[in-house]
């Protein structure tokens, strides 16, 4: 999307669409004499109430050169959290997408108060809303006029922030697209091919893919136990971004769960809603989205993205409840439930990344339905053995509108994973399922700072709006940027 800076006033913008933000309060924030009068009249007549996210579109507004005027309600300052503001900007993006316009002019002073973080969220919201899934539709939706340019009333720093937001939005949309693809398209091999193609696009990016023979030789028997029942072979994918001036700088590492479809295996899931288990690879999709963003931004840091990609199916070859397998770390696991498969692939991945001598590791996984029960669709579950890392992620999440909430990892929960027949069981019973899953992973992360993001509640929408959300790409990219 083309970006242009202009110094003209809101009254003189000859544009397809002028967008102005209105804060809810006792008086109208000054934009221009005639426009202020128009807005005050609309509020007084109750034709427009500037609650957060409210939108009014006017055609040929009086005293303006713009063909259309969009008023975006911003609510009161005390209610405008980063998350709520982000939702309002996504709503604006959807409105812009629905109009037959090729350009829009954004009055950044009224929309964002000139705050770089808000400008970035504005760009993210507009780009996020441009996404439309058409990949497997025979009849495409009716063609709409594509929004090709944004004209900014602001300064050069605002242009940089908006461009960053647009880039972040594109990364989230890649994550959404990979999540939305059907499981007969988006297989472990497909993810590996997409990672290789991404590495070819960016000079700072390198990709390495292990097939099942290579994983067997390495000793990733726990990961491979999940893919045994499937005709689709597993893949272990490593994307390296070398952006730091010091090539030996310790990398931050993202590890993504990539179960491209999860039937539950022999511990078969109920049929209702099983189609949504194509989203069980949204952790892997998040890693892909993040790696694209940091590559486009040319982030001056070393980052490694790791994806463990498998398909979990029942068959005569599938792993059975009661089987015992050996992990890459040498520990044995009693598999009591084959539907607790995410931790089985992640434990080998988390063991493997130790060889990178990482600064910190964050894994991202649609790991437990218990997290959805505990936290719903708003907060991502956060569990960590490192308080400093957890605090940083919590703070960044609140600041960028991609929130998470911390749950404990404590010794009494670890005891729930005791097994009579192996070093560790892969489930700990009905209680505290999200916590015991993280406790399992923590056994393989003792040699570096580590945090776990359970995105089972936040990775996708259900119902009429079914589709991947792109979270937690904003949280993780801003974490990666924080020490660059």
- Looking at the annotation, which residues are catalytic? 269, 343
Q: Are 51 and 103 in contact (CB under 8 A)?
A: no
First CA to last CA distance, the chain: 26
β 450-454/360-365 pair status: parallel
Angle at 379 between CA 177 and CA 226, to 5 degrees: 55
Measured in degrees and rounded to the nearest 5, phi and psi for residue 453 equal -110, 115
Q: Are 350 and 444 in contact (CB under 8 A)?
A: yes
Take residue 314 and report the two structure tokens written for it.
């029942």
Task: State yes or no: cis peptide before 472, omega within 30 of 0.
Answer: yes
Q: Are 20 and 69 in contact (CB under 8 A)?
A: yes
Angle at 184 between CA 180 and CA 187, to 5 degrees: 80
- How far is 299 from 16, CA to CA, in rounded Å? 35
DSSP states of 211-261: -HHHHHHHT-HHHHHHHTT-SSPPEEEEEEEE-SSSTTSPPEEEEEEEEEE
Task: Give the residues across from 425 on adjacent strands.
Answer: 334
β 467-468/460-461 pair status: antiparallel
């Amino acid at each position: 999307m083309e970006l242009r800076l202009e110094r003209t006033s809101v009254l003189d913008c000859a544009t397809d669409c002028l967008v102005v933000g209105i804060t809810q309060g006792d008086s109208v924030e000054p934009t221009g004499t005639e426009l202020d009068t128009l807005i005050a009249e609309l509020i007084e007549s109750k034709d427009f109430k500037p609650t957060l996210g409210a939108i009014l579109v006017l055609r040929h507004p009086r005293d303006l050169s713009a063909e259309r005027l969009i008023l975006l309600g911003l609510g009161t300052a005390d209610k405008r959290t980063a998350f709520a503001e982000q939702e309002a900007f996504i709503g604006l993006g959807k409105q812009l997408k629905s109009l037959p316009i090729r350009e829009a002019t954004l009055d950044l002073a009224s929309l964002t108060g000139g705050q770089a973080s808000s400008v970035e969220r504005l760009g993210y919201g507009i780009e996020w809303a441009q996404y439309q899934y058409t990949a497997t539709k025979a009849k495409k939706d009716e063609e709409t006029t594509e929004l090709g340019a944004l004209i900014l009333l602001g300064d050069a720093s605002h242009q940089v922030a908006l461009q960053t937001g647009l880039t972040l939005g594109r990364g989230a949309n890649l994550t959404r697209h990979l999540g939305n693809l059907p499981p007969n398209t988006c297989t472990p091999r497909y993810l590996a091919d997409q990672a290789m193609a991404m590495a070819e696009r960016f000079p700072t990016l390198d990709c390495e893919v292990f097939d099942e023979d290579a994983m067997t030789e390495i000793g990733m028997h726990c990961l491979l136990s999940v893919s045994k029942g499937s005709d689709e072979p597993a893949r272990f994918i490593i994307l390296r971004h070398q952006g730091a001036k010091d090539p030996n700088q310790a990398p931050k590492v993202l590890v993504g769960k990539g179960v491209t479809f999860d039937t539950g295996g022999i511990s078969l899931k109920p049929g209702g809603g099983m189609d949504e288990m194509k989203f069980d690879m949204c952790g892997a999709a998040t890693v892909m989205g993040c790696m694209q963003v940091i590559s486009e931004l040319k982030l001056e840091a070393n980052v490694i993205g790791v994806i463990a990609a498998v398909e979990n199916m029942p068959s005569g070859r599938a792993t059975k409840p009661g089987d015992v397998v050996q992990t890459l770390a040498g520990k044995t696991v009693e598999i009591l439930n084959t539907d607790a498969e995410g931790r089985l692939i992640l434990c080998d991945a988390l063991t493997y990344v130790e060889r990178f001598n990482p600064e910190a590791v964050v894994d991202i996984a649609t790991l437990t339905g218990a997290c959805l029960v505990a936290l719903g669709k708003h907060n991502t579950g956060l569990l960590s053995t490192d308080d400093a890392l957890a605090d940083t992620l919590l703070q960044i999440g609140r600041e960028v509108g991609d929130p998470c909430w911390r749950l404990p990892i404590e010794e009494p929960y670890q005891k729930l994973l005791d097994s009579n027949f192996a070093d560790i069981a892969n489930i700990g019973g009905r209680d505290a399922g999200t916590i015991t899953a993280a406790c399992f992973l923590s056994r393989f992360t003792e040699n570096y700072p580590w945090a776990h993001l359970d995105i089972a509640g936040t990775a996708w929408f259900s119902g009429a709006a079914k589709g991947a959300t792109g979270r937690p790409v904003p949280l993780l990219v801003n974490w990666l940027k924080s020490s660059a």
